[in-house]
Amino acid sequence: MNRKQFVTNSAALFAGASLLSNLAAEDHKHDPSMKMSSGNSKYSKALMSAIHCKLAAELCLSHCISEMAGGDKSLGSCASSTKEVIAACDAFISLASQNSSFTKKSAQLCAEICQSCAKECKKHADHHKECKDCMESCLSCAKEMAKV
């Protein structure tokens, strides 16, 4: 793992951990008799799926960049589609975390972008684990987004 991959992976992990912390603190009260909750947001499953998908896309993008730097130009479209997934998932995470009235529209767009990325990653899934992981995560995310 090179420095750029480490920084990218660390940033993605930090963003995911930050969001998980926010979800956990959603109904935080200082009453010792209260039990821990896994978050009661109506978007909890979709949020977790989007976080996982964004992380898988970050890892896939990092892999694509490394491969392209080594001369493999076949992953250019894959890199572009992962960047779109990262943006779409990030937007959904932000909107759903706020219970925005635009959450449903964002989920629909996120599902469409995830489906498109999964098709692109499928082309490389047999040769690149990161692409396979991203494809599977995108399909799972699109499925959850359809439920929103």
Map tokens 């009661």 to a residue.
40
CA nearest neighbour of 64 among 94, 92, 93, 85: 85
- pLDDT one-digit tens code per residue, 111-138: 999 999 999 999 999 999 999 999 999 9
CA-to-CA dists, residue 14 to 31, 65, 72, 89, angstroms? 28, 21, 29, 15
82-88 mean pLDDT: 98
Q: What does the domain layout of the chain look like in residue ranges? A: 43-146
Whether 36 shows a pLDDT value over 50: the answer reads no
pLDDT attached to residue 11: 58
* Burial (0-12, 13-18, 19+ Cβ within 10 Å), 109: middle
Q: Please give the average per-residue pLDDT across 44-68, as a whole number.
A: 97
CATH, domain range 43-146: 1.20.1270.360
pLDDT at 41: 79
